[in-house]
Amino acid sequence: MKTRFLASSMLAVLTAACATTPDKVPMDIAAAPAVPEATSAFAELSALPFHAPDFTALSDADYQPAIEEAIAIKLAEIEQIATNPAAPTFSNTIVAMERAGQVYSRATAAFDQKVSADINDTLAAADEALAPQRAALSDAIYLNPQLFARVKAVYDKRAAMSMTPEDAMLLELTYADFVHNGALLSDAAKAELKQINGRLSELGAQIPQRITEGQADAALVVDTVEELSGLSDGQIAAAAAAAEAAGMPGKYVLAMTNTTSHPMLAQLDNRTTRERLYRANSTRNYTGDDETVDMIREVIDLRTQIARIFGTPDYATWRMYDRMAKTPERAIGFMEEMVQAVRTTQEREAAEINAMIAREGGDFTVQPWDWPYYAEKIRQERYALDNEAIKQYFVVDNVLEDGVFFAANKLYGLTFEKRNDIPVYAEGVSVYTVFDADGSELALFYFDPFQRDSKGGGAWMNNFIEQSHLLGLKPVIANTLNVAPPAPGQPALMTWDDVTTTFHEFGHALHGMFADQQYPSISGTNTARDWVEFPSQFNEPFAAVPEVLQNYAKHWQTGETIPMEMVEAIDRASKFNQGYDFGELLAAQLLDMKWHSIAPGEAPTDVLAFQEEALGSTGLRTDLVPPRYYTPYFRHIFGHGYQAGYYSYTWTNMLAKDGYAWVEENGGMTRANGEHIRETFLGQGHSKSYGQMFRDFTGHDPEVGPLLDALGLTHGTPNIGSKCEDGEKGCVG
């Protein structure tokens, strides 16, 4: 979840804001402590277009002192608010907090992206040193009794105040955040919580670094080209180049991927190589210098202690206070409703694979390293689908400019202009000005597509600058991916998964670009985990709209548009192998909830034994279909804020499939539909409740049927409506 008033490690949140205020009582500045003068490169908004961060203005070593200075400034700003002798008002308390921390927000936004996308030893050391200081800053805000007394005083008189709907939402959320973060705890409990938060922040910085290092260190060395049979010439050349760069000429190096299942498992003919690749990829971070198990054990124990301090049954209950799902029981019930259908599909698919193995004379049954390979053979046999052949139609720049941008133009009227005058944080990053339908400048957009050793796994969106009307700021947004870089002299190509990921992340970008809020705390993507993935997953299907696909899917050598039979094969195959593709995701989501449903005092001492027991209890065939992430490299929940929230990818996919059904039923990709989408939810941030925004968009409460239909799963699950009874299985709320 994005934290208000502070920047998260992945999605930096601007906390400087303002509002249309219902009162005008000024702060007595003379009675407040002085605010230190800012001296770093982040002291003022940059002079670059859109106030984009100037990455040439400081070295990597400058970030830590700049952020430490910004922390001191924000602490003083907060203390001014807390000690203001004037009576608390919405203006001098709630809005004042929104204004605080502008230097801090600018500094951490740039730093967090550097750490995530281009880390080095200097940045890693700074991140580790800053993590407890940033946690202490959060505690200084939320556990400040004078500050909370002012917030509560304003909250208690809200019924008598004249506020805009956005004012009212900000006040409700601010009060709820303070309570959630411990404002009502005793002094002793606050002190204990501060200690726990400090240690968790340290671990939250260390674990992702080790995961990144473990992914790099686990690279598989292969001796002969024969062992790589099935890979393309380009992939083999890239593996040879990687080995050469690593000082092993004549050998081949296969880099690991973020997820348990490696895409090359679907291609490698040599079963021994497949098993070696799978084991190297799925056992990283278990032992050795990159081991994370001990740190994860400590994280889980500390999180159960937080549940104890707050008197909740488990950490998930405490964590989900602001979610659309509201309770872990509701989220777990939603997922468990799908388990039987997924398991049935897994067993049917496993039987089909075993039949193929037998037909080919194999004397074994399918194992996790075999499943992707034989599933791909069945896919090609059944749907005439060759993923390597399909890849030739997806040139990276074409996917972005002629696909993603083209769809955004057709639906929302946006246009894009590439520019070369904006400093970037790493080689290979491109920048575009985004123009709104009326021709006005809307946003600045960074695109960082290629995998590198210094980049964390996965894909994400972040804000360098958060939209704010009162501050006059427009959004500056980045999309970061991990597309395999091309071998020298070869084109940069994407898999179909890469293509949909590009559209997915741009859905996040649109959510940020269309932000139209007064307060950055509730602007754009500053929403709950189980809502923020809705706009991104909603944008994915536009990748396959024929008008869009035919505009960008062109063979890199011949220029030929992707043949319709290939498009039809992709569409037919979209429901294929869901026992594996959806099963690995569902297993990881249930594993996350099991880790965070542990009662206080019951944290396990054996992390791997708990993982085995937890996966065995899911009801899924995790012996054949492993979770997308095993615990030691589950970066989402041990470093990136998705703890007790990884379910949100399926929850929001349910919202997205239901929402896209509305688009199809109402004329498809039209400008009128684009305006409706923007006005009802994509441009609304958290200015309204999530249920209200969804009803404004579709005219009804969310329904799970379109998701199960899209996955090709038999469903008898009830509609997931916001008006069902608390605790009812399958009910969203």
The residues annotated as belonging to the active site are 505
Are residues 587 and 622 in contact, defined by beta-carbon separation less than 8 angstroms? yes
* The pair of three-digit structure tokens given for residue 371, joined into one six-digit string: 């499943």
From residue 225, alpha-carbon distances to 229, 243, 251, 502 in Å are 7, 12, 8, 32
From the list 497, 482, 499, the residue with the least C-alpha distance to 543 is: 499
Neighbours of 699 (CB within 10 A): 9
Mutual orientation of helices 564-573 and 371-383 as an angle, nearest 10°?
130
End-to-end alpha carbon distance in the chain: 18
Residue 479: how many CA atoms within 13 Å on its side-chain side?
A: 26
Helix (H), strand (E) at residue 431: strand 430-435
Task: Show contacts of 608-614: CB within 8 Å, 24+ apart.
Answer: 608/286, 608/293, 614/590
Residues 6+ apart with CB under 8 A from 499: 394, 399, 403, 543
**Cα distances (Å, whole numbers) of residue 134 to 9, 12, 40, 200:** 10, 13, 18, 11
Centroid of chain to Cα 247:
35
Q: Indicate the residue type of 379.
A: R
Q: Name beta bridge partners: 468.
A: 473
Q: What is the DSSP letter of 481?
A: E
Provide the residue type at 506 as one letter.
F
Pairing of strands 476-483, 441-450: parallel
Q: Are 730 and 716 in contact (CB under 8 A)?
A: no
- Find out whether 280 and 239 touch, Cβ atoms under 8 Å: no
Quick one: tokens of 95?
């809005």
Phi (first) and psi of residue 507, to 5 degrees: -60, -40
Do the Cβ atoms of 551 and 533 come closer than 8 Å?
no
Comparing CA positions, the residue from 594, 597, 662 lying closest to residue 631 is 594
Q: What are the tokens at 397? A: 């720049």
Closest CA to 14 of 472, 428, 331, 697: 472
Would you state the structure tokens that stand for residue 388, as one six-digit string? 């390597």
Whole-angstrom distance, CA of residue 613 vs CA of residue 522: 39
Residue 418 β-bridge partners: 432
Nearest alpha-carbon partner for 655 in 624, 711, 701? 701
Residue in this structure with the two tokens 């896919």, named with its chain if needed = 379
CA distance 48 to 65: 22
What SS3 state is found at 335?
A: helix
Backbone angles phi, psi at 436, to 5 degrees: -75, 175
Nearest to 633 by CA among 218, 210, 333: 210
Indicate the residue type of 44: E
